[in-house]
Structure 1
Amino acid sequence: MTDKDNTNPLFDSQREKAGAKTIDKYLYQYHWALYRVISEHDTTNEYAVFIELHEDVVISDSLSSQNAKFEFNQVKTNSAKFTNYQLVEKKKSGRSVLGKLIESVNSKPYADKITSLNLVCTSNFSLELKKDDVELKIIRKEDLADSQLKKLEAAIKNELSISELPSTLKFIVPDLAEKDYQKILVGEISSLINRLYPESRFNDESIYRLLIDELIRKGKVTYDFTKWDELIKNKALTSEKVTSVINEFTNIKDEAQLDVEFNRICTEIGLNSIKSKLLKRSFLRYKRQRISNSSSFQHDTTTILQRRIEEAIASGQSDFKELITQVSTNLPAKIRRQFSSQDEITSAIICEYIMMM
C-alpha cells in the first residue's frame, strides 16, 4: 500500500541516542573479533575467540589447554585520538583505560601465557614516538619516546604500583573501519573463501550471519568455567566452527567436475571400473575429512602432500602413477601412519592434486 503523503508522523529529534551508539560500540567489538580471525583463518592452524572474558576480546592460538597462548585486546571506538591524558585518566571505577588493560593480566595466574596485550582504537593515538616523522599502525613499547614512556610509567606506578609497562603492550589502529564494518566483514569472508577454494560457489552473507550470531550468543555467557573444554564449548568461537560454517555454505568444487578429474586420473594410472569404484570410496572419505577437519594435523597433512606433489612435478615427473609412488615414498612417518592402506594414501594424493588445480 502506497501512502500519497509520505511524511513521517513520528518525525522529531530523538530524545535518547546514547543507547544506539552504545550498541554500535559493542557490535564493533564483536565484528572486529570476527574480522581478526577471518583475515588470518587460512594461515592459522587453530584458534578460539572469547568475547568479554577478562578483556573485550581474547584470542587463543590453540584449542589445547596445555599449548594455548593468549592475546588480550581492549577495543575502543573513540571519536578523537587517544592522548596520554585519556590513557591514564582515572574513571569512576578508580581505574584508567591503560590501568584497566594492564590490571587484566598483572599478577594473574595466566600472565605468563599472554603474548600480546593490546589497546585497539579506531581513532588512532596521539603519543610521542622516538621518530616523530612516522605514523604507526602498531605502536610497541620500544617505539615510544623516552619522555612519553616515563609519563605513562609514572602514572601506572601511581595507579597499580608497578614500575614499568608490560613488554607485551601494544597500541593498535585496527584495519576494520568503524563505519560499514558489516559489509567489510562480508567482503573479508568472500576473500577468504576465494583464497581457500578458488572458483567455488558460496553464500558469504549466510556465513557472516551464522558466525556473528554464534559469537554474540557466546559473548553473552557470563558463567565461569573451571574446565577448559567447558569454556571452549560455552564461551568460544573456534576455528573448527568457522571451518564447519564455511563448508556448509560453500560448494568447493563442482561434483561433476570432481568426477571427471578423478575418473581421468584413474584411467591414466590404469585402473578398471571396479578398482576405480573402490578407490573412490577412499577418495570421498578423505575429501570429507579434509573439508570438515581444521585441526593442525590435517593442516600439516594437506601442506606436506601438496608440497611433495609440487616437488615431484618440479623435478619433471609427468606420469601420474609414478608421481603417486614418488610422493608416497617421501611422506614423513607421522603422515603415513594415519592411513591404513596404500589406497588411502593414493586417494589423498589424488584429492590434494585436484584441489590444487
Structure 2
Amino acid sequence: MNSKESKSQINPLGLDAKREKAGSDTYRKYNYQYHWAFCRMLDEHSEGNEYAIFIEEHEDVTLANSLNGSSALFEFNQIKEIGSKSTISSLTKDKEKTVSPLKKLASSVCNKKFSGRVSSVNFVSTGGFSFDLHKEGLSFEVIKVGQLTEGEKAKILSCISEIDKTNMLESKMAFIIPELPEKGFDLAVEGKISQLINKRVPGCTYNSSSIYSCIIRDLQRKGENSFDYHDWDDSLKKKAVTSKQLDEIIDQHVKRKPDENLTTELLYILKDEYNLNSLNRRNIVSAFDRYYTAKLSNRDSELHKVSEEIKKLIKEKIDNFSTAAELDKYVFSQATDLLAGYFPSREDFSGAFLYELVALK
C-alpha cells in the first residue's frame, strides 16, 4: 500500500445506498438540455447565421433564425435525455396520466398564432430510435417523417391528427440523435467554443472556459424566467441568448494583436501627428485593438455600416489634409447619427478611424 492509499479515509456517507437519486438525475437531464441549446447556438454561429435561442419557450429549446421579430421563423426542439431507444409505440402511446410524447410536441406548435412561422419541429433523444429503417441497417442522425415506412408514418399522423388538423408536421417534424454526449457535455461544449474561435480568429489568445461560464449562466437564468413577453425586444433581452450577445462575449474574451506593420504605423502616427499625453495615446491603442478584433470576428451589420462610412469619408478627403489628426477631426465632424452614436468615447472613434486609415488599400 503506497502512502497516498494509506492516508485515504472511508466516506461515512458512502457506506449506505442513497434513498433518493431522482434529484441528481433530474438535474442532469435539465443540464443536458441547456448544453444542447448551447451547442445548437454554436453550430449556427459557426455558419455565420443570426439567431436567438430560448429555453422553455413553448418547447424545451426554441430557435429563431432572425433577430427581427416580424420575419423570424422558429425551430422547436423537445429534448429527451434517456437511455432507451424510442419506438413508434413509445412515441405515440398515451400513459395513464400523460399524453404521448408526440402529442405533447404537437400541442406546443399546432393551432398557435405563430404556427405559420414554424420552420421545423424536432424530437431529440439521446437514446436514439428503433424504426424499420434501422432494422435494414440504416443509421441517420436526422430522420424525417417522410423517411419512415408508410405504416410508421400513418401511426404518427393518426396519433397527432386531432391536434395537427392542417397536417403541418408531416413535412416539418424530424427525429434527431444528438452529437452531444450524455456525460462530459460541459467539456464537449468548451471544445466547440474553441473550434469556433479558431475558425473565426485563428492564432488569437482566448479563454474558452470564461466564454462558456458567461453563456451557460445566462441560459440557465433565462430558462428559469417563466414570464411571457408581449414585446419582442423584451423577449430577446429577458428570455433569449442571441448571436449578437455571443459575438460581444467572444470579443471581450478574445485577444489578438494586429499585424505588426499596422501597429508600427499606428504608433508612428500617434507619436508624430497627435498631440496626446501617454494615457490618451494608450487608450487609443487599446481602442484600435478592440476595433481590429471586432472587425475580424463580428458579423454585426451595424459595425459593417460604421466601417463603410468611415472608409468613405477617408477616401473622399484624404488628399485634403496633411496629418491624420486633422483628417480624424474632419471625419468625426461629418459623422452621421449612426457613426456618432456607435462609439462610447472620442478615443474609441479615433481607434476605429486609425485602423481604417492604416488598413486602407
TM-score tier by shorter-chain length is 0.7 to 0.9
Which residue of structure 1 lines up, in the alignment, with residue 73 of structure 2? 69
Which residue of structure 2 lines up, in the alignment, with residue 135 of structure 1? 139
Deviation at 1:207, TM superposition (A): 1.0
Which residue of structure 2 lines up, in the alignment, with residue 239 of structure 1? 243
**Gaps in structure 1 of 5+ consecutive residues:** 303-337
Give distance in 2, aligned partners of 1:297 and 1:64: 14
Deviation at 1:16, TM superposition (A): 0.4
Which residue of structure 1 lines up, in the alignment, with residue 191 of structure 2? 187
Matches within 5 A, 1:131-280: 132-157=136-161, 160=163, 162=165, 164=167, 165-251=169-255, 253-254=256-257, 258=258, 260-263=260-263, 273-274=272-273
Which residue of structure 2 lines up, in the alignment, with residue 122 of structure 1? 126
Match of 1:9 among 12, 16, 31: 12
> Are 1:287 and 2:292 matched, yes or no?
yes
Q: Could you say what secondary structure the match of 1:229 adopts?
A: helix
Question: Any conservation in 2 of the 1:45–1:295 contact (CA below 8 Å)?
Answer: no
Tell me: CA distance 1:19–1:130, structure 2 relative to 1, closer, same or farther (3 Å): closer
Question: Any conservation in 1 of the 2:92–2:103 contact (CA below 8 Å)?
Answer: yes
Question: Any conservation in 2 of the 1:130–1:144 contact (CA below 8 Å)?
Answer: no
| % same residue | 35
Tell me: CA distance 1:339–1:231, structure 2 relative to 1, closer, same or farther (3 Å): closer
Give distance in 1, aligned partners of 2:151 and 2:231: 44
Amino acid at match of 1:295: D
Deviation at 1:291, TM superposition (A): 6.3
**Gaps in structure 2 of 5+ consecutive residues:** 308-337, 341-350
RMSD (Å), alpha carbons: 3.7
Deviation at 1:72, TM superposition (A): 0.3
Question: Any conservation in 1 of the 2:48–2:299 contact (CA below 8 Å)?
Answer: no
Question: Any conservation in 1 of the 2:55–2:219 contact (CA below 8 Å)?
Answer: yes
Tell me: CA distance 1:346–1:27, structure 2 relative to 1, closer, same or farther (3 Å): same
Give distance in 1, aligned partners of 2:299 and 2:195: 18
Give distance in 2, aligned partners of 1:126 and 1:155: 18
Amino acid at match of 2:273: I
Tell me: CA distance 1:52–1:161, structure 2 relative to 1, closer, same or farther (3 Å): closer
Q: How many residues align?
A: 312
Amino acid at match of 1:274: E
Give distance in 2, aligned partners of 1:184 and 1:76: 18
Give distance in 2, aligned partners of 1:221 and 1:15: 31
Give distance in 2, aligned partners of 1:130 and 1:7: 47
Give distance in 2, aligned partners of 1:300 and 1:37: 25
Tell me: CA distance 1:179–1:266, structure 2 relative to 1, closer, same or farther (3 Å): closer
Question: Any conservation in 2 of the 1:47–1:63 contact (CA below 8 Å)?
Answer: yes
Question: Any conservation in 1 of the 2:251–2:294 contact (CA below 8 Å)?
Answer: no
Amino acid at match of 1:66: S
State the TM-score, normalizing by the size of structure 1: 0.75
Question: Any conservation in 2 of the 1:46–1:296 contact (CA below 8 Å)?
Answer: no
Superposed CA offset, 1:239-281 (max 9, x none): 1221121122211x13xxx2622156789xx999439x99x88
Give distance in 2, aligned partners of 1:138 and 1:349: 48
Matches within 5 A, 1:305-316: none
Give distance in 2, aligned partners of 1:46 and 1:153: 33
Give distance in 1, aligned partners of 2:65 and 2:58: 17
Superposed CA offset, 1:118-153 (max 9, x none): 001111111223993421110112111111111222
Question: Any conservation in 2 of the 1:130–1:145 contact (CA below 8 Å)?
Answer: no
Matches within 5 A, 1:74-85: 74-85=78-89
Which residue of structure 2 lines up, in the alignment, with residue 42 of structure 1? 46
Amino acid at match of 1:86: S
Give distance in 2, aligned partners of 1:5 and 1:272: 63
State the TM-score, normalizing by the size of structure 2: 0.75
Q: Could you say what secondary structure the match of 2:120 adopts?
A: strand
Superposed CA offset, 1:88-135 (max 9, x none): 111355421011111111111101111110001111111223993421
Amino acid at match of 1:187: G
Give distance in 1, aligned partners of 2:164 and 2:49: 39
Superposed CA offset, 1:1-33 (max 9, x none): x99460111231111011100110000000000
Tell me: CA distance 1:94–1:160, structure 2 relative to 1, closer, same or farther (3 Å): farther
Bigger mean CA offset, 95-104 vs 148-157? 148-157
